Amino acid sequence: IWSAVPAGPPDPILGVTEAFKADKDPRKINLGVGAYRDDQGKPYILPSVKKAEEIVRSSQPDKEYLPITGLPEFTKNAALLAHGADSSVIKNGLVSVTQSISGTGALRIGGAFLARHYPHSKVIYVPSPTWGNHIPLFRDSGLEVRFYKYFNKETVGLDFEGLKADLRAAPEGAIVLLHACAHNPTGVDPTQAQWGEISDIVKERKLFPFFDMAYQGFASGNTTKDAYAVRHFVSEGHQIALSQSFAKNMGLYGERVGAFSVTTASPEEKARVDSQLKIIIRPMYSNPPLHGARIANTILSQKELYSQWEGEVKGMADRIIGMRETLYNVLTNDLKTPGEWGHIKSQIGMFSFTGLTTPQTKALAEKAHVYMTADGRISMAGLNGNNIEHFAESVNKAVRG
Ligand code: LMR
């Protein structure tokens, strides 16, 4: 039956982990997938998460099905984290929100919802480059994916003029996907002033903003600061769609905790959107998993635990910032590696877009057992005091050819 099924390529990001696992060299380093590691290179369970798990366990909760849109306290608190308690859409009960299978699931529900109910367009503009999975994800949701300029290779920074020109040229009503903070893969974010200009263009062109916020807290170490773009757009009167993930900021990767929400114009409209989200989700996976949402909700709802968690997010962000500093110093000062490496320090979030070419990334995997995505993106969190020398020396060799 399956003789005509063609073999597909490995996933550009998760396939890197497979290649890394197959490598038996003790010096190997995985900088592919964006998953935080501690300074010993080990997966990190946040102490606040451990405490929350204890609290959940001691309450001896049942294992009943959640409602289709998930744990209501969790979704309420997720929306609050994104928008802030002062937000008019929170105060007026205008956020239609559902739990999701982490960020990807949120984007997929969003894609399906927009494909079915957004009246003005089936076209979504994503930045070039963007997280690789955005493209098949939105295509599979029934949207047409187009690109807007984002990254300038020459300046290794934001191509703001290109971005503005492309958004201005987008057909009226098109959907535009915006990375709320810690842009993946480039680590380059617009400034607050630039977000202001983007908001104006989105308004002028009547575009529909869909924010992907997978790294709230990870960019700056501050969840409020990282929510700036989302909150600014809402305060400017935009209705938005929003995908949230708790994979990175709570380290709940495999627990698959996220939320998808849309802001609506009235409580009555919200109720109708709520009903349609259920209709989309029920035949997809019926209802979401319990455990991770309970953990996240315990953290979000208990004041002390929440403050502890905020400190831990900052701790992760700071360790990454420290690694950027060290890597820059080793490449520039110690090894005098040809090229300009200032972007390693200026980029933010989980990733650095190194500028390494695909052949260089291949050589690094084959010769130095250093794994990263083919576009030269490295997960900064995979670096630590024990492996940074090997990494920097290997990059130095790869760059010198
Ligand atoms: C990444 O970009 O590495 C992460 O968002 C993990 C993933 O699912 O791709």
Respond yes or no: is residue 28 known to be catalytic. no
Position 53 in a domain: no
- The pLDDT, as a whole number, for residue 154 is 87
Question: Beta strand pairing status for 29-30 and 241-245?
Answer: unpaired
Instruction: Find the mean pLDDT for residues 187-195.
Output: 97
For residue 1, name the pLDDT band (cuts at 50, 70, 90).
Answer: very high
In CATH, what number is assigned to the domain containing residue 123?
A: 3.40.640.10
Looking at the structure, do residues 342 and 290 belong to the same domain, yes or no? no
Are residues 284 and 321 located together in one domain of the fold?
A: no
Tell whether 51 is covered by a domain: no
Q: Cβ(369)–Cβ(25) under 8 Å?
A: yes
Please check whether residues 270 and 176 belong to one and the same domain: yes
**Rounded to 5 degrees, what are φ and ψ at 321?**
-60, -40
| Domains: count for the chain | 2
Is the complex ipTM higher than 0.90?
yes
Q: Is the pLDDT of residue 243 over 90?
A: yes
Q: What is the pLDDT, as a whole number, of residue 137?
A: 98
H/E stretch holding 260: strand 257-263
Ligand 1: atom nearest CA of 11 is 9
* Locus of tokens 């191509």: 159
Residue 253 Cα to ligand 1 midpoint, Å, equals 10
Ligand 1 is surrounded, with C-beta below 6 A, by 13, 33-34, 131, 133, 184
Nearest Cα neighbor of 202 from 175, 241, 231 is: 175
Q: Name the 3-class secondary structure at 318.
A: helix
155, pLDDT greater than 90: no
Which CATH number is 330's domain given?
3.90.1150.10
pLDDT of residue 143: 98
Residue nearest to atom 4 of ligand 1 (CA): 34
C-alpha–C-alpha distance, residues 244 and 211, integer Å: 9
Asked whether residue 69 falls in the same domain as residue 191, the answer is yes
From 301, 332, 354, give the residue that closes a domain. Answer: 301
Domain check: are 243 and 383 in the same one?
no
Residues 37 and 134 grouped into a single domain: no
Task: Evaluate whether residue 57 is within a structural domain.
Answer: no
- Within-domain flag for 365: yes
Query: How far apart, in whole angstroms, are the C-alpha atoms of residue 137 and residue 105?
Result: 9
Helices within 6-46 (DSSP H only): 14-22
The percent of residues above 90 in pLDDT, for the chain, comes to 97
Closest CA to 353 of 152, 156, 98: 156
Please determine, for residue 186, whether its predicted confidence score (pLDDT) is greater than 90: yes
Considering the domain architecture, whether residues 266 and 331 belong to the same structural domain is answered as no
Task: Let me know if 274 is a catalytic residue.
Answer: no
Query: In this structure, how many other beta carbons lie within 10 angstroms of the beta carbon of residue 41?
Result: 15
Say if 7 falls within a structural domain. no
Q: What is the pLDDT of residue 290?
A: 97
Of 301, 335, 356, the last residue of a domain is 301
> Are both 200 and 74 inside the same structural domain?
yes
In this structure, the answer to whether residues 357 and 213 fall within a common structural domain is: no
On whether both 142 and 284 belong to a single domain, the answer is yes
Instruction: Report, as an integer, the average pLDDT of 37-49.
Output: 95
Q: Are 256 and 293 in contact (CB under 8 A)?
A: no
User: What is the predicted pLDDT for the residue at 218?
Assistant: 87
Report in angstroms the alpha-carbon separations of 391 from 30, 31, 35: 10, 10, 18
CA atoms within 13 A on the CB side of 335: 24
User: Which one-letter DSSP state was computed for residue 37?
Assistant: B
Phi and psi angles of residue 70, each rounded to the nearest 5 degrees, phi first: 95, -165
Distance, CA of 95 to CA of 269 (rounded, Å): 10
Residue type, 372: M
Which of 301, 330, 348 is at the close of a domain?
301
- Same structural domain for residues 199 and 94? yes
In a domain, 200, yes or no: yes
Residue 321 maps to a domain:
yes
The answer as to whether 182 is a domain residue is: yes
Active-site option among 28, 248, 270, 309: 248
Q: Are 217 and 78 contained in the same domain?
A: yes
Which domain, by its residues, includes 153?
65-301
For residue 184, give the ligand 1 atom closest to its CA: 2
